[in-house]
């Protein structure tokens, strides 16, 4: 079965946690597309060359979850040649046999507009900053400022700005537990699978 689940949203909204849980539940392959950009940023040098030569081994680096890698990812993600180099990889992953879950910022709008299910996971900037601060530590006010700055950059970029697809299911996790958010995501996907069988 070829079945694509596109999960988009801003930093620390919970999309990675939800994506991994959904992939496990349905037995689908999972790709955190943000890691592609983080890996390109972390490789350094010419970002376009780094994107073109990216391998799966680059996605296993242990420094890709840092705040610095996230900022670097956001900077290289605005380069059209970098996006083009990574788009094909994502699209072939999405249409693999057995189903796939991709999470990122433009999966439902640009990478996989034909995805069978699109979710847009969001939460307030304050809640997302607090979650990120619990992960990385440091000054919580500074983390909030960085989250807001990143949101602005991601929403205003000329190429593939962060926004929900017109047919995406909105999932606000501001006041939801992880289990409740995962349950809602699974419900939306099961509904779509049932419609496909009908």
The contacts of residue 115 (CB under 8 Å, 6+ apart) are 4, 5, 6, 94, 102, 107, 108
Q: Are 22 and 93 in contact (CB under 8 A)?
A: no
- State the DSSP H helix or E strand holding residue 134, giving kind and residue range, or none if neither: helix 125-136
Q: Annotation-wise, does 14 bind a ligand?
A: yes
Q: Annotation-wise, does 10 bind a ligand?
A: yes
No. of H helices and E strands in the chain?
8, 5
Q: Are 38 and 9 in contact (CB under 8 A)?
A: no
CA proximity to 167, closest of 115, 123, 89: 115
Q: Annotation-wise, does 17 bind a ligand?
A: yes
Q: Annotation-wise, does 15 bind a ligand?
A: yes
Residue ranges for the binding site for ATP? 9-17
Residue ranges for the binding site? 9-17
């Amino acid at each position: 079965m070829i079945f694509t689940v596109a999960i988009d949203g801003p930093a620390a909204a919970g999309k990675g946690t939800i994506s991994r849980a959904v992939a496990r539940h349905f037995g689908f392959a999972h790709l955190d597309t943000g890691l592609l950009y983080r890996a390109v940023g972390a490789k350094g040098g010419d970002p376009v060359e780094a994107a073109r030569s990216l391998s799966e081994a680059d996605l296993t680096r242990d420094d890709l979850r840092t705040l610095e890698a996230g900022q670097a990812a956001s900077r290289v993600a605005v380069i059209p040649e970098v996006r083009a180099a990574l788009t094909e990889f994502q699209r072939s992953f999405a249409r693999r046999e057995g189903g796939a879950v991709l999470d990122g910022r433009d999966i439902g709008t640009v990478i996989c507009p034909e995805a069978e299910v699109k979710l847009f996971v969001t939460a307030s900037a304050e809640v997302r900053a607090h979650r990120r601060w619990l992960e990385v530590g440091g000054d919580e006010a500074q983390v909030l400022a960085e989250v807001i700055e990143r949101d602005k950059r991601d929403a205003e970029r000329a190429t593939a700005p962060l926004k929900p697809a017109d047919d995406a299911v909105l999932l606000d996790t501001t006041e939801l537990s992880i289990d409740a958010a995962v349950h809602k995501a699974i419900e939306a996907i099961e509904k779509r699978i049932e419609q496909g069988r009908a």
